[in-house]
Amino acid sequence: MDLFCILVIVAVILTESVSIKYDCHCKTGCAETPENCTGYCAKSWSGPSCQRRNVALYQNETYQLGVYQTFSNILNKTVAGTSDKAVDGITNNVFLAGGCSHTKQVPEEHQTAFWTVILDQPRLIYKIRIYQRENQYLHARLNGFEVFVDKELCFKWINVTNPSFIVDIHCQNPMLGRNVTIAIPTPNSLGPVLTLCEVELYGCADFTFGGECDKICNCNDTEEVCNKITGDCAASGCAIGFTGLGCQDPCPKHTYGSMCASTCGNCAAGVSCDRFNGTCLNGCANGWGTVFCNQCIRGRYGSACEGVCGQCLNSEACNTTNGFCPNGCESGFTGNRCLECIGGFYGDDCNLKCGNCAEGKTCNSTSGICTGGCVGQFIPPMCSLCLGGYYGNTCEATCGKCQDGTPCDNITGICEDGCELGWSGEQCSECAGGWYGDSCESQCGLCYGNEACDPVDGACKNGCLEGVSGERCQGCKHGYYGAICNQKCNYCVNGVCLRESGECVLGCENRWTGENCNICGPGWFGQECNQMCGKCAAFEACDSKTGECPNGCRDGWNGTACNVCDSGYYGEDCRSRCGSCADHESCDSITGRCKNGCSVGWMPPMCTTCNDGYFGRACVNLCGHCLDGGPCNKVNGNCDLGCDSHWTGEQCEICEKGHYGKDCDRTCGKCNNHANCNSMTGRCSNGCLDGWSPPFCAACDDGFYGVECNTSCGRCKDFESCNKTTGVCSNGCQPGWTGGPCVVCDEGYAGPKCTKCGRCFSGEPCSEETGECPRGCSDGWEGGSCIECVPGRHGSNCNLTCPDGNHGSNCTSLCGHCKEGTICNKLNGTCPEGCQEMYKGPKCDQLSAEEIFEEEHEMITRVISIVIGVYIFLFALLVVILCVCCSNRYCKHGTADTGLT
């Protein structure tokens, strides 16, 4: 069995050794691990996994202070509230059911009350549950209660609120003891009474902990019982694969084992190892082996197993730390790691020979490259072949002039594809016949009699052929070309063409084209290429002899030569279309203008289509309000798609009924007989419907309001008009009226005109319909509404007699001229004792006839005196004016006569 198999077996054993020890307390459905019970918990056990136990249940020793309360229960049986009733397992809180412990209310005998249970053995006490009786009012009896474990305080109730029906408490710290006491140290308003229907002391089963005892201990020693509150394993520490307080946390990533103190190996993809045994379940990272992935596999070395071993002798493994081969290398390899070839060789198997490296150096043992370059004319980087142009064993011989510059044979120097022009021989090192010069690069001229020229300087010993010129008979005479210079150059610039082809190297004269300048250039035709082509279709060239266009003319052109504008086109290129001329005439072929004007709907001078928004002859008419601002028909102006809102008519130029204004967006008022208003001003020419105000009939007339202006305003202050929408009087109401619209009588007013109620008989109210007092007035008042004092009375209550000298209603009338020392009657103003002199009548308010005459005479005399005074004043004023005028005239004449200045 190899090491790997042993490690796998150990890993499996370690994994299976992590087991959970517990006792099942389920009635049914126990599992191998403490999970939720499928059935109920066994008696005295509770919690999600039935691991929490009530250690007080059925304990034999219980005590309580005070005389037991005996009473008849709901079955009319006499029962006693003894202390054992609090640990009998019955949590029913109905007191009369007889399941609660209880003491009598005897405050004169005892000032405290307590209850004690003695457990069968010392228990760790932490969490306690108390069930009270059902009467919520009596819950106050438990206020201030204390809990002791072996006479040490575990808990004290300090809340201001009463304990609830079920009271869950826990000690400040877990306490070990047997005696658990619940006490009321001082009496409350109900006396020292203690009623406990059930007391449960919770403790976790061994190997579980927590408030609900639902957490499992994870101690290294499976026999160790962990702390039942915190889960801490004080003796043996955490089980393999766990850490943290309570040993509940799995090992952090890349750690495992006891106390998670071991570091994982190099698992594949960087995942963590198994936290219990450290194995890499998905294999190792590249280069690593074993189940723990902590050693290099065979053939690898280095701290990260990144190195690959070399060719060690007999395929031995290299050192896993430094990669050295312990017993040397395979044949052809060298170095500590056997990764290098011996001198002069390279390749994976070190069996390839290096080339001719410079300075006698060896090549790279892997690639065979000569890093320092080559000797002689060898090709780098391998230095095994001659450079182009060289041959021989040492690549020092120069190749001849091989065809197309191809290299010669590396060994013999032969040009296998022949020689360059002018050279001959196997190695192309001699001039061929008809060539001369140091490099045989020059061709002999046209020597007389086709003789060969001198191979050194190319001279023709017996002269040139006829028509040939030049020192070496290599040039034609000016204006000629051809192999024997017997063809004349065409229309070349300056008459210069190539000797061989006649090509005009300096270009062609105007109107000619082609290499030899013997073809008419684009756009020209005729024998001398001096006639211009017309406008052929697709910009094709015309026939160079006839000028005809092979595929017709471009748009707008006509004629055999396509040099005349087509009907309906004009312009320099005949590409502009004529507009819509009147009577379908064609436009001027140069300017494009229509001589006799445009068709209707077209705009001069070019007779283009009317701009959007215009129509008619010369496009001077504005369109109406077509739908969505669209254009009208440019001939008749009709809006073919309809009108914008509030417009009508074929041309959408008329306001729709009920609208007016520049944009027909204003609504007509309430015109008489529902007639339409003026479409421009909005005025109703025949007046308004009743209640509406002219001339626009858009607002209510004064005195009316409402949607239809058919409701009359109320009694607004100062007879103002009300708000024409709401009817509210903005500045208030006339006296006697109230409310926003002033249509309701104010308090103390009544009747159709809301007149003020007077002083009705016996304080009765006046009639709401008429405002009058139905049974008359109180004393001192009169009138239908009882608002006037009876004659001879005045004051706010009409209870004051008129003062002397006054009489009548409210004492507003003055007495006449009664006899001195007497007063008039205060009811009717008569003078019972007679009148003063010159007065007469019952009230002594009339002058006698003599007195009237004297007063009239005196008045006339005064008027005459005033008139005479006015006349005298005017006469005096006239005299003064005349004197001033005469004086000015005298001054003027005097100055003229004397000559004084």
What would the DSSP string read from start to end of 165-223?
SEEEEEEEEEEEEEEEEEEE-S-BTTBS---BSEEEEEEEPTTEESTTS-EE--BSSTT
User: Average pLDDT, stretch 439-450?
Assistant: 83
In this structure, which amino acid lies at residue 515? Answer: E
For residue 268, the SS3 value is helix
What is the Cα gyration radius of the chain? 70
Max Cα-Cα span within the chain: 193
User: Mean pLDDT, the chain, as a whole number?
Assistant: 84
Token readout for 138 is 């009596």
Q: How far apart are CA 496 and CA 486, in angstroms?
A: 14
The Cα-based distances of 292 to 15, 16, 253, 295 in angstroms read 14, 17, 15, 8
Alpha helices in 553-601 (DSSP H): none
Per-residue confidence (pLDDT) for residue 899, from 0 to 100: 32
Judge contact between 66 and 104, C-beta under 8 A.
yes
Phi-psi region of 415 (alpha: psi -120 to 50; beta: other; left: phi over 0): beta
Cα torsion 185, 186, 188, 194: sign: positive
Element (H, E) at 886: helix 849-898
Per-residue confidence (pLDDT) for residue 613, from 0 to 100: 85
Judge contact between 85 and 100, C-beta under 8 A.
yes
Single out the residue of 142, 69, 126, 139 nearest to residue 101, CA to CA: 69
Q: How many CB atoms lie within 10 A of CB 553?
A: 20
The full set of domain ranges for the chain reads: 52-204, 527-576, 790-852
Q: Using the predicted structure, report yes or no on whether residue 152 has a pLDDT greater than 90.
A: yes
Q: How far apart are CA 837 and CA 858, in angstroms?
A: 19
Q: Using the predicted structure, report yes or no on whether residue 16 has a pLDDT greater than 70.
A: no
Q: Using the predicted structure, report yes or no on whether residue 201 has a pLDDT greater than 90.
A: yes
The Cα-based distances of 769 to 715, 753, 755, 781, 828 in angstroms read 17, 9, 11, 21, 33
Q: How far apart are CA 68 and CA 847, in angstroms?
A: 124
Least trusted range by pLDDT, from 395-404, 564-573, 593-602 = 564-573
Q: Which residue has the tokens 């009359």?
A: 712
Q: How far apart are CA 82 and CA 107, in angstroms?
A: 19
Per-residue confidence (pLDDT) for residue 370, from 0 to 100: 92
Q: How far apart are CA 402 and CA 424, in angstroms?
A: 9
Most confident of 15-29, 164-178, 553-567, 851-865: 164-178
pLDDT tens for each residue of 747-779: 778 888 888 888 888 878 888 778 888 888 888
Per-residue confidence (pLDDT) for residue 77, from 0 to 100: 67
Per-residue confidence (pLDDT) for residue 154, from 0 to 100: 94
For residue 508, the SS3 value is strand
357: DSSP letter: B
pLDDT tens for each residue of 498-536: 888 889 988 998 889 888 898 898 889 888 888 888 888
Most confident of 8-12, 301-305, 859-863: 301-305
Q: How far apart are CA 614 and CA 684, in angstroms?
A: 33
853: DSSP letter: H
Q: How far is CA 508 from the centre of its chain?
A: 70
pLDDT tens for each residue of 829-844: 899 989 988 889 998 9
Q: How many CB atoms lie within 10 A of CB 321?
A: 11
| pLDDT band at residue 116 under the 50/70/90 scheme | very high
Q: How far apart are CA 461 and CA 39, in angstroms?
A: 133
Q: Using the predicted structure, report yes or no on whether residue 18 has a pLDDT greater than 50.
A: no
- Could you tell me which residues are beta bridge partners of residue 242? 250
Element (H, E) at 16: helix 3-16
Residues 6+ apart with CB under 8 A from 414: 408, 426, 427
Least trusted range by pLDDT, from 469-473, 582-586, 783-787 = 783-787
Q: How far apart are CA 232 and CA 222, in angstroms?
A: 13
Single out the residue of 657, 516, 840, 281 nearest to residue 507, CA to CA: 516
The pairing of beta strand 262-263 with beta strand 255-256: antiparallel
Token readout for 545 is 């002899």
Per-residue confidence (pLDDT) for residue 273, from 0 to 100: 93
Q: How far apart are CA 311 and CA 350, in angstroms?
A: 11
Phi-psi region of 894 (alpha: psi -120 to 50; beta: other; left: phi over 0): alpha
Q: How far apart are CA 255 and CA 244, in angstroms?
A: 14
Question: 626-637: string of b/e by CB count within 10 Å (b at 16+)?
Answer: beeeebbbbeeb
Per-residue confidence (pLDDT) for residue 115, from 0 to 100: 92
Per-residue confidence (pLDDT) for residue 325, from 0 to 100: 93
| Annotation: CATH topology of 527-576 | Laminin (2.10.25)
Q: Using the predicted structure, report yes or no on whether residue 124 has a pLDDT greater than 50.
A: yes
Q: How far apart are CA 273 and CA 284, in angstroms?
A: 10
743 vs 853, residue with greater confidence = 743
Per-residue confidence (pLDDT) for residue 900, from 0 to 100: 27
For residue 246, the SS3 value is coil
Q: Which residue has the tokens 């045994």?
A: 277
Q: Using the predicted structure, report yes or no on whether residue 639 has a pLDDT greater than 80.
A: yes
Q: Using the predicted structure, report yes or no on whether residue 13 has a pLDDT greater than 50.
A: no
Per-residue confidence (pLDDT) for residue 7, from 0 to 100: 41
Strands (E), 271-321: 288-289, 295-296, 300-301, 307-308
664: DSSP letter: S
User: Average pLDDT, stretch 129-138?
Assistant: 88
363 vs 483, residue with greater confidence = 363
Residues 6+ apart with CB under 8 A from 110: 65, 66, 103, 192
Q: How far apart are CA 592 and CA 619, in angstroms?
A: 18
Per-residue confidence (pLDDT) for residue 74, from 0 to 100: 56
Q: Which residue has the tokens 């296998």?
A: 416
| pLDDT band at residue 894 under the 50/70/90 scheme | very low
Per-residue confidence (pLDDT) for residue 389, from 0 to 100: 84
pLDDT tens for each residue of 49-99: 888 888 999 888 888 876 566 666 556 667 778 889 999 999 888 887 888
User: Average pLDDT, stretch 420-437?
Assistant: 83
| Annotation: CATH topology of 52-204 | Jelly Rolls (2.60.120)
Please compute, for residue 675, the number of CA atoms within 13 A of its CA located in the half-sphere on the CB side.
16
Q: How far apart are CA 331 and CA 108, in angstroms?
A: 116
Q: Using the predicted structure, report yes or no on whether residue 375 has a pLDDT greater than 50.
A: yes
Question: 326-336: string of b/e by CB count within 10 Å (b at 16+)?
Answer: eeebbebbbee
Backbone phi, then psi, for 355, in 5-degree steps?
-80, -160
Q: How many CB atoms lie within 10 A of CB 46?
A: 18
pLDDT tens for each residue of 699-720: 888 888 888 888 888 889 888 8
Per-residue confidence (pLDDT) for residue 893, from 0 to 100: 43
The pTM assigned to this predicted structure is 0.37
Question: 169-179: string of b/e by CB count within 10 Å (b at 16+)?
Answer: bbbeebbebbb
pLDDT above 70: percentage of residues in the chain: 91
Q: How far apart are CA 93 and CA 75, in angstroms?
A: 16
Token readout for 93 is 């809180």
For residue 392, the SS3 value is coil
Judge contact between 50 and 41, C-beta under 8 A.
yes
Q: How many CB atoms lie within 10 A of CB 219?
A: 23
Per-residue confidence (pLDDT) for residue 890, from 0 to 100: 41
Q: Using the predicted structure, report yes or no on whether residue 14 has a pLDDT greater than 50.
A: no
The Cα-based distances of 107 to 187, 188, 193 in angstroms read 8, 10, 9
CA–CA–CA angle 881, 882, 887 (5° rounding): 100
Whether a cis peptide bond, with omega within 30° of 0, leads into 695 is yes
Question: 484-508: string of b/e by CB count within 10 Å (b at 16+)?
Answer: ebebebbbbeeeebebeebbbeeeb
Backbone phi, then psi, for 212, in 5-degree steps?
-105, 5
Judge contact between 623 and 613, C-beta under 8 A.
yes
Phi-psi region of 194 (alpha: psi -120 to 50; beta: other; left: phi over 0): beta
For residue 422, the SS3 value is coil
Burial of 462 (0-12, 13-18, 19+ CB in 10 A): exposed
